[in-house]
Amino acid sequence: MIDLKTPSEIEAMRPAGVFVSEVLTALKQHAAVGVNLLELDELAHGMIRERGATSCYIDYHPSFGASPFGHVLCTSVNDAVLHGLPHDYTLRDGDLLSVDFAASVDGWVSDSALSVVVGTPREEDLRVIEATERALEAAIGAAVTGNRLGDISAAIGAVAADYGYGVNTQFGGHGVGREMHGAPHVPNAGRAGRGLPLRPGLVVALEPWFMTGTDEIYTDDDGWTLRSQDGSRGAHSEHTVAVTEDGPVVLTARA
């Protein structure tokens, strides 16, 4: 069931969006050569405690996860492209890091992600990050009343095609509200003009993620981390977006 939010409920979601944005900004600034992934997770955990927020990840245990997640961040490095389980790994020069974070504030959830290169960048890493960011912008631009869900998916897929990347549709965007994941599922490729009509009050997390060499993934031995099948690197960008009469509102916009 798709739960459309009232204008007042969308306003009530703004504090969660601001908080998630603040945490990701702090993590981006802190990520550097020599920093451990567990240190990043603890930084986010401390900000959650200080804010009185609730992690959406720590007890999360969907059917595709081997066990409750147990951490407050997804930290995916290099060929780890989604759901990276934080572990004892120290970031090295040139690592491509994607961080995904969701939290609940006053009962409302926001979800967002970003990718950065630690230290000396590779051109191909900057390119795939740029592609996900451009795809996210295109998706947000398509999230208007009168369009359909397929218009969002098609906008993402078109950017991927422009960059020469394939698209994996197993994992994509999703509804957000009182819980982190809800209907509808928003694939990262699709056909324009198809699917659910976009109506005011729909709130979705839009999250293009691309890999440079494949569209196939496998699950790491930790039971959570998804890696590219061919070892190529990937990037991930995400915002929580509300469809309104006045156009899309990005609840997790970063300063």
Q: Which candidate, 74, 114, 116, 119, places its Cα nearest to that of 92?
A: 119
pTM over 0.75: yes
Band of pLDDT at residue 112, cut at 50, 70 and 90? very high
Band of pLDDT at residue 64, cut at 50, 70 and 90? confident
Q: Which candidate, 137, 162, 159, places its Cα nearest to that of 237?
A: 137
Average pLDDT over the chain, rounded to an integer: 97
Q: Report angle CA 240, 246, 249 to the nearest 5 degrees.
A: 15
Mean pLDDT of 166-195: 97
The strand pair at 54-55 and 182-186 is best described as: unpaired
Mean pLDDT of 233-249: 98
Beta bridge partners of 82: 226
The reply to whether 181 sits in an annotated binding site is: yes
Query: By percentage, how much of the chain surpasses pLDDT 90?
Result: 97
Per-residue pLDDT, 93: 98
Q: What is the largest CA-CA distance in the chain?
A: 48
Alpha carbons within 13 A on the beta-carbon side of 204? 30
The reply to whether 124 sits in an annotated binding site is: no
Q: How far apart are CA 57 and CA 45, in angstroms?
A: 11
Exposure string of 64-80, with b = 16+ CB inside 10 Å and e = fewer, is ebeeebebbbbbbbbbb
Cα 14 to the center of its chain, rounded Å: 17
Beta bridge partners of 234: 211
Q: How far apart are CA 53 and CA 210, in angstroms?
A: 30
Mean pLDDT of 229-255: 97
Residue pLDDT, tens place only, 6-62: 999 999 999 999 999 999 999 999 999 999 999 999 999 999 999 999 999 999 998
Could you tell me the fold of the domain covering 7-250?
Creatine Amidinohydrolase (3.90.230)
The reply to whether 207 sits in an annotated binding site is: yes
